[in-house]
Structures are given as C-alpha cells and as structure tokens.
Amino acid sequence: MTPGPGRLVLLGRPTGHSLSPRMQNAALDAAGIALRYEATDLPRRALDETFASLRRDRAAGNVTIPYKEDALARCDRLTPVAAATGAVNTFWTAPDGALVGDNTDVEGFRRAFGTLVHQARGRRVLVLGAGGAAAAVLLAMKGWDASAITVYARTMARGESLIHRLGVAASLAIDPSEPARSSDIVVNATPVGMHDGEMPLDPALLLPGTIVLDLVYRAGETDFVRATRARGCQASDGLAMLVEQGALAFERWFGFAPDREAMWNALPERR
C-alpha cells in the first residue's frame, strides 16, 4: 500500500448528505496530514474515466451508494472480504499502481453494533435488503450464531444469489411482514430512510424489545429509528458504523489508526 495517497475521494450519487468528508478531514487534521477528503457526485457515465484518473493520481478513498458493486469490477485487485461481499467501499493505489478494493463495512458493522447486540445466540434475525450493505451484514453475522436469519429481497433472484454467494444459512422472504413479527433483531441494510417519511418496514409489526439496527443515518436520526424506539425497541442508526468503517479505511490508506474522538467530534450529532 502506498503510504501517502495523492488524492482522497468519496464516490457516489448523491453525496451531498454524506458526513464522511467532515469526519475524514477531522482525522486528517488530527494526524497533521495536509490532504483533503472530497466528495464527488458521480454520474454513471463517468465511472470508467474517473477510475482511470484515480490510478493516475495514486488516489485512495471510499465508494458509497449506488457504486459499490461497480467499483468491484473496476479494481485491479480485491481483498478477500471485498471479493466475498461482492462490493467495494474502500480503495487505494498499491505501490505497483494497481487499484486495490476492500470492504470495511463488514468489520465496521461488527464493531459498531457488537456492543448493542451482546448475545445473538438463539435469536432470530431479519435483514432488509440484498445489496452490498446486506452482504456486509451477513458476512459479519457469520460468528453471531443466530438461531435463524431471514433476508428480505424485493426480487427472489437477487436474494438467492446473495445467500448462495456468501454461503450463509439464511432463508429468503419476499414479504418482510411475517418474519418481522417474530424477529429479535432487525437490520435495515437498504437506503430507505434517507428522506422524510421513508421507512423500510412498518414499525407496528415489531414487538417491544426488538433490537433495530438501521444502517442509514441522518441528522436527528431516521424516522424508522425514532418510530421503533417509540414502540419500545432498542434502536440505533448507522452513525457508529460510519465512524468505524471510516476509521478502518483511514488505517488502510495511511497504515495507522486515526483519532476516533476527532472523527466523532466532527459529526453534527455526536453520540
């Protein structure tokens, strides 16, 4: 890994809501690194040209919705975890000029929510979504020893492909209502919830005491987190995961851990 990237970027569409630039620039300042982390709102037609320029600039950075799977196909090498999830959220330029793709969402999820889910043994888990974020969650759950895992996917083929690729013992649901009523842990791994009035699931389906992990984050928390907490659920948004996966990405780029306190302090609503 090159110790000093020429550029640091976030690729996605849209990126205006992202807190990653504030968080990563705070970490760069704390480390005394004279580099800026910049968000790029990237149209799909510019993907090939952009990845070519990243190689030329010996860049590093992150990838967010909707390009995590596109980035996987455009990297020259993949870490085992990126290959397993089928999605890249972190990349850097190696000394030989190759673009290396990684996925820090897996360990970021495990670290962020490990304190919330103290014991998953014997519990029933519902994962909403079948994209790159859901893949990261399912891979992280392999050591949770849950009694049952159900994946909700809008299309059967996409859900079946995800479960088969990861080799996880999970069932598939095209309607989340029934598993939601009996689940002990619910993870929203879809982008639904970024805007007012959006919810990935009717909160009324969940029993009080259900642990809700919403990977979406926004100022004031998501409507889903607030509504499920009002029902007596133990709910948390994706802010902790954002910090943890971002800290791991920083470590990949520079070879040392960032100042997590500085990263948290840069966020508008520090938990």
Active site residues: 68
Widest CA span in the chain: 54
User: How far is the CA of 247 from the CAs of 172, 180, 190, 215, in angstroms?
Assistant: 33, 32, 22, 16
Residue 7 carries which DSSP code? -
Q: Kind of pairing, strands 185-188 and 124-128?
A: parallel
> Cα torsion for 17, 21, 23, 27, to the nearest 10°?
180
Residue 154 carries which DSSP code? S
25: helix, strand or coil: helix
Q: How many residues does the chain have?
A: 271
Neighbouring C-alpha atoms within 13 Å toward the C-beta of 141? 31
Q: Closest by alpha carbon to 71, among 63, 79, 59?
A: 63
Measure CA of the first residue to CA of the last residue in the chain; give whole Å: 33
187: helix, strand or coil: strand
Residue type, 263: M
Give every CB contact of residue 170 below 8 A, 6+ residues apart in sequence. 127, 138, 149, 150, 151, 163
